[in-house]
Amino acid sequence: MKRIAAVALLLCLIFTCAACFPVDKTLNGFSMGSFYSIDYAGSASFGEDVKSLLDEIERTYSATDDFSVISKINSAEDGDEILLSEAEGEVFSRIFSIVDGTNRTFDPSVYPLVCAWGFDPPFLYNNKTPPSEDAIARARNACAIYYFVLSEDHRSIIKLKEESKLDFGGAMKGYAASAVADLIKDKVESALVNVGGTVAAVNRDYSIGVECPRDSDEEYAFSFTLGSGEVCATSGDYENFYIYNGTRYHHIIDSFTGNPAKSGVISATVISEDGLLSDCLATAAVVAGVEDALRFFKAYGVKGALITEDKEVYAYGLTVNIKDTSYVLHSSEEDQ
């Protein structure tokens, strides 16, 4: 009897011991047009839940899914009214308010121009040529957020111009990273959620490196600490681009000029507790340039870091450790 008790006690101890050494696990998958991964410590299983959550977001907001609410809007005619669910209405109103708050430097109605430049998903690198001036001018005519009128209760949207199209791709990875983080935060000890490069830290701080926007021997340009509960999004001209006759054409289109953004900012990282906001502001910063970007960061109370063409790094409210010393930290950071 004593022996049995001893063995039982021992087994308990062994299992306690094993739990003291939590093994880090990784969950991989593909959704929303890109790979996602979750590095986590913990024993719960949530792979199916994460997959169905991401697929649901894709089915609702993807511009390439024929049955999404975005596709319904994009294929609608002049004056059509499209009904929105409560959740959709909230996403639309948040995005439209960020479009206003960033002086339309973040603008999901730029989609016709994105298509004209050949950056609509799935983007493939082979043999891209820039569009003609004519094609740009034509597409630009359709690009304006005021061709989409959101009702006051956010439950419907009226489209004013048939050729106008929306794409929430610049916002939904952040939205998805936040949604996944919310879903798993009570099930894991800690986790790093990565949806197509937008990452969310869950239940502990993580050290994050930001990729060098140009060729480099270093693994990353600088690093910073992403606090528990924060979501970090990075946009840059180095992600989807093609080179034609020696000129680089990248995927972040400035709706004012109709051309790929040329603001001097080639990489923008934004950190906040709201993934959707981080994602939108990162895109806005690349279009807006240093001065306006820092103003947006301040207005929205987010942290961020910009890399300019001249290889200067501007940090706002964030401590960055430069790794690639060809990048220089700009000194007068917070007096903007």
Partner 1 sequence: MKKEKEKRRFSLFRIGDLFILLIVLCLVGAVLYSVFAPARGNAAEVYSDGKLIATLSLKKNTVYELDHMQIVVNGGKVWVEHADCPDKICEKTGKIYKKGQAIVCLPNKIAIRITGKGEVEAIV
Contact region with partner 1 (CB under 8 A), list: 141-149, 164-172, 181-189, 204-212: 204-212
Q: CB 65 → partner 1: shortest distance, Å?
A: 21
Residue 46's Cβ-side half-sphere holds a number of Cα atoms within 13 Å equal to: 24
Rule CB under 8 A: say whether 19 interacts with partner 1: no
Compute the residue count for the chain: 336
Note every long-range contact of 116-125, with CB atoms under 8 Å and residues 24 or more positions apart, other chains counting.
117/249, 117/251, 117/253, 117/260, 118/242, 119/240, 119/251, 119/253, 120/63, 120/64, 120/167, 121/33, 121/63, 121/64, 121/169, 122/33, 122/64, 123/240, 123/251, 125/242
Instruction: State the amino acid at position 180 in one-letter form.
Output: V
Rule CB under 8 A: say whether 37 interacts with partner 1: yes
User: Strand, coil or helix: what is 29?
Assistant: strand
Instruction: State the amino acid at position 86 in one-letter form.
Output: E
Q: CB 138 → partner 1: shortest distance, Å?
A: 32
Identify residues 107-126 at the interface with partner 1 (CB under 8 A): 125
Rule CB under 8 A: say whether 291 interacts with partner 1: no
> Based on CB atoms, which residue is closest to partner 1, 232 or 315?
232
SS (H, E, C) 131-193: CCHHHHHHHHHHCCHHHEEECCCCCEEEECCCCCCCCCHHHHHHHHHHHHHHHHCCCCCEEEE
Rule CB under 8 A: say whether 199 interacts with partner 1: yes
Rule CB under 8 A: say whether 315 interacts with partner 1: no
Instruction: State the amino acid at position 67 in one-letter form.
Output: F
Identify residues 69-108 at the interface with partner 1 (CB under 8 A): none
Q: Is the dihedral of CA 50, 51, 52, 53 positive or negative?
A: positive
Contact region with partner 1 (CB under 8 A), list: 103-111, 195-203, 256-264, 309-317: 195-203
Rule CB under 8 A: say whether 324 interacts with partner 1: no
Q: CB 309 → partner 1: shortest distance, Å?
A: 20
Separation between Cα atoms, residue 29 and residue 36, nearest integer Å: 5
Q: CB 201 → partner 1: shortest distance, Å?
A: 9
Contact region with partner 1 (CB under 8 A), list: 13-21, 153-161, 272-280, 312-320: 13-21
> Based on CB atoms, which residue is closest to partner 1, 1 or 87?
1
The site for partner 1 (CB under 8 A) is made up of 2-3, 6, 9-10, 13-14, 17-18, 20-21, 26-28, 34-39, 125, 192, 194, 196-199, 206-211, 219-220, 223, 232, 234, 269, 323
